[in-house]
Amino acid sequence: MDWDWNFVWEILPTLLKGAIVTVEATILGTFLALVAGLLFAVLRRSRSQFVAKPANFFMEFMRGTPLLAQLYFLFYVLPDFGVLLPPLVAGLIGLGLHYSTYIAEVYRAGIDNTPRGQWEAAKACNLTNCQTWRHVILPQAIPPIIPALANYFVAMFKETPILSAITVVEIMSQARGIAAYNYRYLEPMTLVGVFFLIVSLISAVGLSALERLMIGSGLTNGHD
């Protein structure tokens, strides 16, 4: 089968619509994962076992079950209990919560790398627990782990095609529909591959630059 440029220009607008959904799902899913991951990391450090153990159980459960099964539960099972979520919303929640359990471990590493003296200094200054986290611990713990957090952004981006299982029309779903309708798989699948490759390469370059910036700023070591 020969490459058909006319077919490429014909299907490109449709694929771009799917690409927008893919990028949107990645950005919003990452935001949810970053916020929820930080929450889980803090909850796991709670002195109360009634808080720490449920948080730990949830994280282990999410990491121990497939993302696809979690998406199916959100989109196909929850409606039986009266909770009906739009496909994209269910996908964002699924991606965000799934990756938050991994991101929580990254946060934990950054928090554990914060010198013990910082906690003692905050206590000596009569700071509340909330003030200690907000003004002392997190500003030191987060900058060194930004490159690691950014890696999960790339991983989530590559995972977005799975959302087609719950009828989210992202770029891969668009490509499959075009291919099946026209009986031509070469052009749509190649364009999807090029799209993911370009974004991944750009992200890799950005991550390398970010890591060099962190090293140059002395922020990769929480003891500096």
What residues contact residue 94 under an 8 Å CB cut-off, 6+ apart?
67, 70, 71, 74
Q: Which of 60-74, 80-94, 197-211 has the lowest mean pLDDT?
A: 197-211
pLDDT, average across residues 102-124: 88
Q: Which long-range contacts (CB under 8 A, 24 or more apart) does 185-194 make?
A: 186/1, 186/3, 187/3, 187/4, 187/7, 187/8, 187/11, 188/11, 188/15, 191/8, 191/11, 191/12, 191/15, 192/15
d(CA 44, CA 16): 41
* Domains of the chain listed by start with CATH number: 5-217 (1.10.3720.10)
- Torsion from C-alpha of 4, 7, 11, 13, nearest 10 degrees: 90
Output 8 or 143, whichever has higher pLDDT. Answer: 8
More reliable by pLDDT, 33 or 147: 33
- The mean pLDDT of 62-75, rounded to a whole number, is 95
Number of residues written out for the chain? 224
Question: pLDDT exceeding 90 applies to what percent of the chain?
Answer: 61
> Six-digit token pair at 142?
């987060």
Residue entry with tokens 């979690």: 70
pLDDT at position 1 is 66
Alpha carbons 42 and 68: distance in angstroms, whole number: 27
Joined tokens for residue 57:
């159980």
DSSP string, 17-84: HHHHHHHHHHHHHHHHHHHHHHHHHHHHT-S-HHHHHHHHHHHHHHHHS-HHHHHHIIIIIGGGGT--
Window from 27-36, 97-106, 121-130, 151-160 with minimum mean pLDDT: 121-130
Question: Can you say how many angstroms the Cα of residue 54 is from the centroid of all Cα atoms in its chain?
Answer: 22
**For a pLDDT cut of 70, what percent of the chain falls above it?**
95
Can you tell me the mean pLDDT for 22-51? 92
Take residue 24 and report the two structure tokens written for it.
Answer: 């949107």
Q: According to the model, what pLDDT value does residue 219 have?
A: 57
* Distance between CA atoms of residues 146 and 155, nearest Å: 14
DSSP state letter for 133: I
Beta-carbon contacts of 145 under 8 Å, excluding residues fewer than 6 positions away, are 106, 107, 109, 110
Check residues 220 and 97 and name the one with the higher pLDDT.
97
Q: What is the pTM of this model?
A: 0.86
Find tokens 């990391």 and name the residue: 41
